[in-house]
Structure formats: C-alpha cells, structure tokens
Amino acid sequence: MGQLPGAGVFCRGGCGFSRLLAWCFLLVLSPQTPGSRGAEAVWTAYLNVSWRVPHTGVNRTVWELSEEGVYGQDSPLEPVAGVLVPPDGPGALNACNPHTNFTVPTVPGDWGSSVQVSWLALIQRGGGCTFADKIHLAYERGASGAVIFNFPGTRNEVIPMSHPGAGDIVAIMIGNLKGTKILQSIQRGIQVTMVIEVGKKHGPWVNHYSIFFVSVSFFIITAATVGYFIFYSARRLRNARAQSRKQRQLKADAKKAIGRLQLRTLKQGDKEIGPDGDSCAVCIELYKPNDLVRILTCNHVFHKTCVDPWLLEHRTCPMCKCDILKALGIEVDVEDGSVSLQVPVSNETSSNASPHEEDNRSETASSGYASVQGADEPPLEEHAHSAIQLWPLVIIIMLR
C-alpha cells in the first residue's frame, strides 16, 4: 500500500506520536487493494432446515427458516440444497485427514441400483487445516456444498471464510450452536436437510480484532492529543500569568517612581514659555503658563498628563530612553519580577543625554503618542486571557 497523505510530515512535541497512531488508525480503515479479500462485500445465507422425525411409524417434518449463514469469500453465490452429512467417526469432524469419508444416504435407482442423494458436508472449523482443505475434500467426495460450523465457545458467531482454490462448490459458515444442534440430531438418527438461499449483501467485513485495534488506537490518539493540549495550555497559562504578574509589579514600581519625580507649574517668564521655548515632545504642543509639567531624572520636561501614561507603560524617557527605575536605584530581577530598592537618589539628577541626542530621538517620542493616549493592557495580559478561554473546550472534550 502506498504512503498515506501526511504520513511523512513531522511536527514538534507530542504531535509526532499522535501522527504515528493516526497513521495506524487510517491504515486499518483505508480501502484495501483490489486483490485483498478485506475489500469484498459479505453475503449472508438464508437457511431452510428440515428435520424428518420418526414418530410412531410416521415421519414428521419440522421446518426452520433463518438468516444465520455467511457465504465464503471464494464461494459461488448460488442456492444449493441437500442432506447434511458429517464425516465418519467422532474424531473426524474437522475433515483434516485426506482419507476422511462421508456416509451418504442413498435412494433406489433404476434396475435395482442405489443412487446417492444430493448432500452437503457438515464440517467443524479447526483441526489444523485450512478452510480450502475442508471444502476441497468435500468436493472430491461428491458433496454439492460445504457447511462449516464455528469453534466451540463462539456461540453463533460467524466470519466470512477465505478459501482460495476451493471455489467449485457452495461453502457457508454457520454458528457453533447451530451446527452442534444439527450434528446431535444427525447422531440420533434424524435426517436433516438444508436449503441454502442467497441472502443480503453487506459492506466490507471488519472482524473483532480490527474493531478492537481501531478502538484502542482511537482512544490512545484521543488521550495523547487531549493530554498534550492540556499540558501545552497549562504551560502557556502559567507563563502568561508569571509575565502578567511581572508586568503588574513593574507597573506598580513605575507608579511609585513617577510619584518621586519632580512636578512644576509653569509661570510667565520661565524659559519653557519664552520665544525660544520648547514644546512637549509627546503631544507636540507649546507650553503655556499654568501648565503642570513633569521633570524626569534626565531633566527632560513633559506635560504631566502626557508623560505619566507613557512612563507607566514604558518606564523610560520618551526622548532619551533613560530608565527612570534604574535612575532612581530600583533594580528589577528579570527571572521572577521581584524588585529591590537599592539607594534613594535625589530628584535633581543630571541629564544623561546631549542636545544632539535629544533632537535625534524627539521623532521617536512623537511617534509613541498614540500609545500614550490610549494605554492598553500589555500583550501578555491578552495571552493569559486567551489561554484561560481554552479551558472550557478542554473540559468539554474530556466529558465527551
């Protein structure tokens, strides 16, 4: 059989194991090649069984009609009838010995001769030989058909027999209980006649072992997929929560650091308001008297309402990227998000950037104005929320 689509594709994590099991699952369910017997349909057989019971010198016939047989995969699909005859001898029921004989009833013929009636061989499954051996022996002995009954302990279960090379006569299988009942009647001297008619056509046969293998494979694939999904979701949720806690901690420390920065209300005559005064690098508006401004550790000045949201999210100067936490002596542990205050520093800190650097970075600060105006939650918060939304789906899958 050719390679199934996707069988050669590899992926990371537990996907490789799940793909291997899925390939085995598809291998069982995939259509077989034209020469394979598994691709053929199964035909049932209608059985019309009659018993001729001697009773007070008068023969009484009892009929029984049922659909309890299955045609062999290599058997001709045609009706047949005859007296059921088991092999001679109690140990020859399997008909595995090539010298096995059958005692066939006869009827009077012309000129005082006797003629064998049309008969069907009743043979038990097993004994170390194949179905083809049993059916071929019955054909050589002159049987019109072969009726194979299943192993003891299988009740009335049947399978479609495969008997290549032995398709000369009709061959069906019946259940063990049915075959044993007929055999015991024959051993008591009752003549049993069977008429076999072609029954209904069914889809490709799947035996119990295939069903068991498919069920186990499906369970393993489902368990592995759900387990990997839960593990992946839990790990992603844990990482998202850890980073979210770190972001919240950084935001809390940034809020404390912002509270320690100097505030000033501009007045008429300040250098920021004069003809050569600067504009706020965040909102690009000129300073006016009575504007409340924030002076950062690098001595850059911004409107308080403009720079506070920026500092809360970025913790750096919009112009020179000076880190206010480091400038105030707050060191952040990147691993667990814990912070420790090292040394208190005066609010009046010298500038860390030259005028040339300020001009080069003013454009970058202006471009960040949109994020200052509408400060959203960090992306990690969104990842944590999306990971939490995955859990109801996991619970639904497990309940099914």
Question: DSSP string spanning 208-237?
Answer: HHHHHHHHHHHHHHHHHHHHHHHHHHHHHH
How many angstroms from the chain centroid is the CA of residue 54?
62
Burial grade of 219 (CB within 10 A; 0-12, 13-18, 19 or more): exposed
Question: What's the one-letter identity of residue 69?
Answer: G
Q: Note the pLDDT of residue 331.
A: 66
Other CB atoms within 10 A of residue 11 CB? 9
Q: What is the pLDDT of residue 213?
A: 86
* Distance linking the first and last C-alpha atoms of the chain: 34
Global pTM? Answer: 0.47
* Interacting residues of 327 by C-beta distance below 8 A, sequence separation 6+: 297, 298, 345, 349, 352
Q: What is the pLDDT of residue 320?
A: 92
Q: Which domains does the chain have, with CATH numbers?
A: 41-204 (3.50.30.30), 247-378 (3.30.40.10)
Please give the pLDDT value at position 250.
84
- pLDDT, position 346: 40
DSSP readout, 368-381? THHHHHT-PPPHHH
Any idea what DSSP says for residue 34?
Answer: T
In 3D, which of 361, 355, 285 has the Cα closest to residue 317?
A: 361
For 291, the token pair is 């504007």
How crowded is residue 313: how many other Cβ atoms within 10 Å of its Cβ? 18
Mean pLDDT by 10 residues, the chain (400 residues): 40 50 51 45 92 64 84 95 92 92 85 84 96 96 97 92 94 96 92 94 72 89 94 93 87 84 87 81 88 90 91 88 85 51 40 41 40 41 46 46
pLDDT of residue 39: 47
User: At 99, is the secondary structure helix, strand, or coil?
Assistant: coil
**Cβ atoms of residues 59 and 192 within 8 Å:** no
At residue 54, the pLDDT reads: 60
